[in-house]
Amino acid sequence: MHLENLLDEIFLQEIFPLFSWDELYYSFSGLNKRINTVLRSLMHLDFTVDSSTQHHPALMFFLSTITRLNVRLGKFDIKSFSALCSLTLGYPSLQQRNSIRPENFPYLEYLSLSYPLEDTVLLNLIFSDAFERLTVCRFDRTSTDHSWSTSPKIRSLSISVHGPYGIICVLRACPNISRLNMIVYPTSQINLSLPKHSFSCMNFHLRRLSIRSIIEMLPSIFKLTPNLEWLTFDDILCYDGFENSQMTFKNFVNALFMLNHISYLYLKTMVQAWDQYISLNTLHPLFKHISYYKAHSGVTISSLPV
């Protein structure tokens, strides 16, 4: 049997998956028109573009079928890759950010941008449901805006915001989110609780929350996310007042009891959590594994062994 007599399904399901994209290009492209056609019908090709691959001829050969692209060069033109389902940009240039538009990437499901994002046009598109298939986003520090409407398709989000205002913008814009990884940078405001109107942003779908912030914010966040099942928290502030830190921790514990569905907890904080006569294990059922660091000024609490 000759190679060209094999069924397309044998190429696509049994032969081509054994090769990397550059091996596919050098081994099979140009053999004949039929093989080229079969190659270009491949789905889920994953390319990483850096200084060594930016001019690789395979990029143009597979242009219409590349679905996952990881770009590490700011000058690389991404606009022509219209079949993308997944796009990751490290330090994206203005030109690249301007190319991220629904008409250029109608099939986009995953977007990751490793750079502080203050592009209001792009953010409004993302958080106002302009991308019909976008469900997962990974961003760095982001400027939030009350003008965001809603993006109900987003299910997973990683983002950094400033203060309670940023939290409200995210929860309002993503009403159906189930996983949220968030850094909340404290602001200069004295009152860290969320305003009363924020309860219109209550989210009943959020199940997993990973957050780096200050522990005072957690009680207010819990009121907006009552169905949390999985929580990891890393405190980003050191505390000086022992008496105030005890009250802070007590408020956190009381708020934690509001979460009726929570089953996993990991907490790391510099709060001097409690006095020496009361065991932390007795304060909540999920406080099962306790460890101290920095001469007992910091504590790690988890429901499972770390």
Residue 30 lies in a domain: no
CB 149 within 8 A of CB 123: no
Q: What per-residue confidence (pLDDT) applies to 244?
A: 65
pLDDT, residue 274, reads: 59
Contact 303/269 with Cβ under 8 angstroms? no
Helix spans in 150-287 (H)? 163-173, 218-224, 242-256
Q: Is residue 35 part of a domain?
A: no
| Averaged pLDDT for residues 70-79 | 93
* Structure-model confidence comparison of residues 114 and 125, the more confident one: 125
Comparing 141 with 196, which gets the higher pLDDT?
141
- Asked if residue 103 has pLDDT above 60, the reply is yes
- Domain-embedded: residue 145: yes
For residues 202-219, give the mean pLDDT: 92
Q: What is the pLDDT of residue 137?
A: 96
CATH value at residue 210: 3.80.10
Q: Is the pLDDT of residue 192 over 60?
A: no
| 40, pLDDT greater than 70 | yes
- pLDDT of residue 300 exceeding 70: yes
Q: E strands of 190-304, at which residues?
A: 208-213, 230-235, 264-269, 289-293, 298-302
Q: Which residue has the tokens 């912030």?
A: 213
Average pLDDT, the chain: 87
Report the domain count for the chain: 1
- Going by pLDDT thresholds of 50, 70 and 90, the confidence category of residue 106 is very high
The per-residue pLDDT for range 126-168, each reduced to its tens digit, is 999 999 999 999 998 888 877 788 999 999 999 998 888 888 8
Flag whether 84 is in a domain. yes
- Is there a domain that residue 140 lies in? yes
Check whether 118 has a pLDDT greater than 60. yes
In this structure, is residue 51 part of a structural domain? Answer: yes
Mean pLDDT of 187-202: 64
Task: Name the percent of the chain lying above pLDDT 90.
Answer: 48
Q: What are phi and psi of 61, to 5 degrees?
A: -65, -45
Report the pLDDT value the prediction gives residue 194, as an integer from 0 to 100.
64
CB 256 within 8 A of CB 280: no
Is the model's pLDDT at 297 over the cut of 80?
no
Range with the poorest average pLDDT among 17-31, 132-146, 193-207, 222-236 = 193-207
pLDDT tens, 221-267? 998 999 999 999 998 875 555 556 778 888 899 999 999 999 999 99
Structural domain includes residue 17: no
Q: Does residue 36 sit within a domain?
A: no
More confident residue, 157 or 216: 157
What is the helix, strand, coil percentage profile of the chain, to 5? 30, 25, 45
Instruction: Name the residue range of residue 74's domain.
Output: 43-189+200-289
Provide the pLDDT for residue 237: 73
- CA atoms of 250 and 304, how far apart (whole Å): 22
